[in-house]
Amino acid sequence: MVSTEPTTHDAIVVGAGFAGLYAVHVLRDRRHMQVIGFDAAGDVGGTWYWNRYPGARVDIESVHYSYSFDDELQQEWHWTERFPAQAEILSYLEHVADRYDLRRSFRFNTRVVSLTWDDTDAMWTATTSAGTTHRARFVISGAGTLSVPKEPEFPGVEDFAGEVLMTGNWPHHEVSFEGKRVGIIGVGSSGIQAISEIAKTAGHLTVLQRTPNYATPIGNYPTRPDEEAAEKADYRAIRDASRNHFLGVPYSEVQPSALAVSPEERRRVFDDRWNRGGFRLFIDSFGDILFDKAANDTVASYIRERIRERVHDPAKAELLAPEGYPYGTKRPPLETDYYEAYNRPNVDLVDVKGNPIAAVTPTGVRLADGTEHDFDMLILATGFDACTGPLLAMNITGRGGLRLADHWADGPQTYLGLMAAGFPNLFMITGPQSPSVLYNMPLAIEDHVDFTVAALDHLRERGLDVIEPEPSAEAAWVAHTNELAEATLLPDSPTSWYMGNNIPGKPRRVLVYLGGAPAYRAKCDEVVAAGYEGFTLSSASRVFA
Ligand code: FAD
Ligand code: NAP
């Protein structure tokens, strides 16, 4: 029997990914708070629990894409590859859960289905899919930014006779593609990784592509012992350099402008970054490619040229070479063997831009012109309701019955991407309008959790326990994030989850802070130094006295 009596805690944490695990560790083990965590998943891992599709791997080197909060942890953990695959990152997070005994604070297979603030006693009440209710003064959302897969928007998908699989919610059992006719929709980072691997074993693979992507080589290789030793010896400096970099990785060779150098020098830089892999071409080549269309054109045409070199069939190469939107305005995917997959006789590419998918039928997919493609298996790599989706799915109601869904009807409104006016004591780790997904996420998460804990310390030291943004501070932050986005080429992308326009009906507003992690951290430091400028701090007892 499930007890309907609410249990009371100091803090509720949602999610057991990088964010929730670290939040529970800090609040429970360092601040001795009574904390309860929930995850809809069966275990820890977050992204790396759900996204088990073939080829899933990180695209920021794991020496950087990992926790920095405990030097012993970063010294003892050994990554086998520069860019490890999903299973290894999941093992790492399982190790973290074991090492700090975190699972005992979580209820798994339990979704938070509503969160309601009570003005009379300044407490949040969470209700869960298990039918339980829990009260706490503070809620820390580690619900993720890319944790709600986009709803399939194809009529008839439920009538498909074969298996429908989603990259963002991949089954735990082994999936065989041998001898099967596999269709895949979507060529974002997930689709590109999955296509590269599935092509190797599928009987036949048909890629249904709407917008071709600017994928560039990841440059993965097995860990080199000398490199690992040098990095571990210098980890503190590496982390400092990462935190002072726009993307949260210690790249340091960016030149100011692609237009200020000769074509030969530009080509030399592009070749160098292409060959070395990672996000170097995007972030560590020329500083103006995300801001100046002419600069962007130089790198976009370079990538198109490299794609054409790799794809043997000129018709396929033309379809794969992206035109009409700037490089980097959709998150750039990194790949291994992606373009070579199209040289295999078992791989077909179908353009569904001019001739869109009309419906899924019991036997496959029908396009607008009536063409049918028959499949045994259909894979949806169609992305996520990013950043706001996981928060809105929690049915959050704040002060005076204000629903977050109404507050955000025209797009997210936050202060520092961490809190929203009217929603006291609700901390959104890597929330909308923070650097989040434009930053190396484990570091972004640590920064936000550390900011949250410092704010709780500040309250406690003053006998206070309620913090919330002032509406004017929130409005200024929203205006600032929009202004930053307008100065870039991001709004030029026809569909990009950065702008929310990958989801029909979702308001088009930039979901990330584009000023870079160092500027963001400086702003947070200023806010703290000015006594939490832009926040109202109060006492729950005074609220209802
Ligand atoms: P998540 O890992 O998304 O965890 C959120 C958890 O909250 C999930 O387990 C979910 O089940 C749970 N949850 C959500 N809502 C509820 C609810 N209402 N009730 C209960 N539980 C709930 N970032 C990078 O920086 N570099 C990369 O290379 C990179 N690769 C990625 C690859 C993939 C395939 C994807 C999808 C994302 C990738 N990301 C990458 C972004 C990635 O999401 C973050 O790096 C990081 O894992 C986020 O951690 P998190 O704890 O904030 O959220
Ligand atoms: P995504 O980048 O949003 O890509 C979704 C793909 O599905 C796009 O090609 C999109 O086409 C297509 N699509 C959506 N609806 C469609 C429709 N109705 N008809 C035809 N095509 C449709 O999603 P994602 O690939 O899952 O990646 C999301 C993010 O997760 C990434 O940007 C990245 O941040 C993270 N990620 C990282 C890695 C990694 O390498 N570490 C791997 C996977 C994911 P359009 O472009 O035309 O809309």
- At residue 495, the pLDDT reads 84
pLDDT at residue 121 tops 60: yes
**542 three-state secondary structure:** helix
Choice among 72-81, 165-174, 466-475, 495-504 with the minimum mean pLDDT: 495-504
* Residue pair 35/28 in contact by the 8 Å Cβ criterion: yes
Neighbours of 37 (CB within 10 A): 28
- The Å distance, Cα 344 to ligand 1 centre, comes to 33
Choice among 158-172, 422-436, 504-518 with the minimum mean pLDDT: 504-518
Could you tell me how far CA 43 lies from the centroid of its own chain? 19
Determine if ligand 1 sits within 6 Å of the CB of residue 357: no
Give the DSSP letter string of 126-151. EEETTS-EEEEEEEEE---SS-SBPP
Average pLDDT score over residue span 43-51: 98
Domain with CATH 3.50.50.60 in the chain: 7-148+386-544, 150-213+333-383
- At residue 349, the pLDDT reads 98
- At residue 541, the pLDDT reads 74
Average pLDDT score over residue span 436-454: 96
SS3 per residue for 92-130: HHHHHHHHCCCHHHEECCCCEEEEEEECCCCEEEEEECC
Average pLDDT score over residue span 117-130: 97
Cα gap 24→10, rounded to integer Å: 11
Cα–Cα nearest to 425, from 107, 27, 154: 27
Q: 25-36 burial by CB neighbour count: b if 16+ within 10 A, else e?
A: bbbbeeeebebb
Q: Which residues have C-beta atoms less than 6 Å from ligand 2?
A: 58-59, 146, 153, 185-191, 193, 210-211, 331, 334, 352, 357, 381-384, 437, 495, 497, 502
Cα gap 476→412, rounded to integer Å: 13
* Residue pair 187/212 in contact by the 8 Å Cβ criterion: yes
**65 three-state secondary structure:** coil
HSE-up (13 A, CA, CB side) for residue 194: 29
Helix (H) / strand (E) containing 349: strand 347-351
Distances (CA, A) of 165 to 175, 183, 451: 10, 10, 38
* Residue pair 165/377 in contact by the 8 Å Cβ criterion: yes
Determine if ligand 1 sits within 6 Å of the CB of residue 413: no
pLDDT digits (tens, 9 = 90+) for 454-484: 999 999 999 999 999 999 999 999 999 999 9
Determine if ligand 1 sits within 6 Å of the CB of residue 154: no
Cα–Cα nearest to 105, from 31, 4, 2, 9: 9
pTM beyond 0.95, yes or no:
yes
- At residue 58, the pLDDT reads 97
Cβ contacts of residue 341 below 8 Å, gap of 6+?
195, 196, 199, 200, 205, 347
pLDDT digits (tens, 9 = 90+) for 167-218: 999 999 999 999 999 999 999 999 999 999 999 999 999 999 999 999 999 9
CATH architecture, range 150-213+333-383:
3-Layer(bba) Sandwich (3.50)
- At residue 544, the pLDDT reads 40
DSSP-derived secondary structure letter, 242: H
- At residue 115, the pLDDT reads 98
Cα gap 459→457, rounded to integer Å: 5
Q: 7-148+386-544 maps to which CATH number?
A: 3.50.50.60
pLDDT at residue 524 tops 80: yes
**366 three-state secondary structure:** strand
**281 three-state secondary structure:** helix
For residue 396, the ligand closest to its alpha carbon is: 1
* Atom 37 of ligand 2, residue of closest alpha carbon: 189
Q: What share of the chain is helix, strand, coil (3-state, %, to 5)?
A: 35, 20, 45
pLDDT at residue 379 tops 90: yes
Task: Tell me the percentage of the chain whose pLDDT exceeds 90.
Answer: 95
Q: Going by DSSP bridges, is the β-strand pair 364-367/357-360 parallel, antiparallel, or unpaired?
A: antiparallel
Q: Which band of pLDDT confidence, cut at 50, 70 and 90, is reported for residue 494?
A: confident
pLDDT digits (tens, 9 = 90+) for 277-307: 999 999 999 999 999 999 999 999 999 999 9
Q: Which band of pLDDT confidence, cut at 50, 70 and 90, is reported for residue 116?
A: very high
